[in-house]
Amino acid sequence: MRVGTARSAAVQWVGEHARPDPGFRGAYFSGSTVGLPDDAVLSPFSDVDVVVVTAAPVPPVGPGKFRFRGALLEVSHLPWEEFASADEVLSSYHLAGSFRRDTVIDDPTGRLRALGAEVSRRFAEPCWVRRRYLDAERRIGTRLAAFDVSAPFHAQVLSWLFPTGVTTHVLLAAALRNPTVRLRYRAAREVLDAYGQARLYPELLELLGCARLSARGTGRHLDELARTFDATAAVARTPFFFSGDLTAGARPVAIDGSRYLIERGDHREAVFWIIATFARCHTVLAADAPELHRARLPAFRAAVADLGITSTDDLLRRGQEVIAFLPGLRRTAERILASGPVGAIGPDGPVGPVGAVGAVGADITGTTG
């Protein structure tokens, strides 16, 4: 499917299913399709990310990933107050990138397009770039500080894993790149290579614990995840904000996309999403199928053990290692910022020079968050 065809499906979905809601304030594209031309072929491992802006006091849980008119869409909701000013959007590393270009699908108030024009104009100014990568750095510390030692082990793993993965977003924000979710490590590696900072990449992998994992071992863990994933998709009832990532329709991204990475030699880059999906499956199974949760738990624990983690104490120690890494990470981000844009990064590496503000070429496949 072409990107333009998938976008057209998303526009139609917004008009039919989002706009009629009384709290609807607009919608825009986010994630990997931002920056891709309409005639580009959409990867079978990618979806089209749509953000619906709502005035509802509590934004509803989005439907997540689903098929509509043949396109795989992922719809999420954000509160209207997050878009109060251009300065707030420019300071947010997970929001600003979506407004570098005209990504607005529907804008009944006119605020989103006005914000987009302002954000696009100022996006690459060093003061805002610095605010965004410091925003990512703060998120690491805040989330690790909220680690709950009384939570179930799978929840503890998520509480460590996602802040650890945000180390890549610090670098991506500094380089004006999309802070992709699933492919964050591959994207960070490409940025570090482009800026002559490749020496840092092994340290990122060491923090995650996958620096010495083999492709065969990663493939075995993915096979076990596939079994857990299919079982979870069949029994899931309780809604979670990530429930849309654990459906049969999302399998091409969660399972097939990870297998593709392993087959192309990026097995270490596949680990983050394998573990994240594993832990999320167990969150659902613990709520909806406790016996199945217990039966599948050894496979999850084996995958995490290959990262050097078998206990809460291991997770706490690894969290402190991430905190200790942050000063050096910030120095690298500063060097990237000082160097200025060196080229757009696509799925296979640098693809050309960066032009005017906001013209950063094709983003890495994935969603922001």
Binning pLDDT at 50, 70 and 90, where does residue 341 land? Answer: confident
**pLDDT for res 343:** 58
Task: Tell me the percentage of the chain whose pLDDT exceeds 90.
Answer: 82
Task: Indicate if the pLDDT at residue 351 is higher than 60.
Answer: no
Task: Indicate if the pLDDT at residue 368 is higher than 70.
Answer: no
| Dihedral Cα 60, 147, 157, 44, nearest 10 deg | 40
**pLDDT for res 367:** 34
Task: Indicate if the pLDDT at residue 187 is higher than 90.
Answer: yes
pLDDT tens across 249-258, in order?
Answer: 899 999 999 9
The 10 Å CB-count burial string (b at 16+, else e) for 279-298 is: bbbbbbbbeebeebbeebbe
Set out the domains of the chain in order of their start, with CATH numbers.
Answer: 3-122 (3.30.460.10), 128-319 (no CATH)
pLDDT tens across 238-274, in order?
Answer: 999 899 899 998 999 999 999 999 999 999 999 999 9
Q: Copy the structure tokens of residue 195.
A: 């800026």
Rounded to an integer, what distance in angstroms lies between the CA atom of residue 29 and that of residue 144?
Answer: 30
Rounded to an integer, what distance in angstroms lies between the CA atom of residue 210 and that of residue 308?
Answer: 9
Q: Copy the structure tokens of residue 298.
A: 């050894």
H-type helices in 195-311, by residue range? 201-208, 215-235, 251, 257-263, 267-288, 290-305
**pLDDT for res 230:** 98
Task: Indicate if the pLDDT at residue 332 is higher than 80.
Answer: yes
**pLDDT for res 19:** 96
Instruction: Phi first, then psi: give them for residue 368, nearest 5 degrees.
Output: -80, 145
Rounded to an integer, what distance in angstroms lies between the CA atom of residue 168 and that of residue 186?
Answer: 9
* Chain-centroid distance, C-alpha 310: 25
Task: Indicate if the pLDDT at residue 135 is higher than 90.
Answer: yes
In this structure, which amino acid lies at residue 26?
G
Looking at mean pLDDT, say which of 73-82, 240-249, 293-302 comes out highest.
Answer: 293-302
Least confident of 99-113, 115-129, 355-369: 355-369
Average pLDDT estimate for 145-156: 97
The 10 Å CB-count burial string (b at 16+, else e) for 215-250 is: bebbbebbebbbebbebbbeebeeeeebbbbbbebb
Site of tokens 């503890």: 156
- Quickly count: other Cβ atoms within 10 Å of residue 54's Cβ: 21
* Mean per-residue pLDDT of the chain: 90
pLDDT tens across 302-329, in order?
Answer: 999 999 999 999 999 999 999 999 999 9
Task: Tell me the percentage of the chain whose pLDDT exceeds 70.
Answer: 93
**pLDDT for res 32:** 78
**pLDDT for res 357:** 27
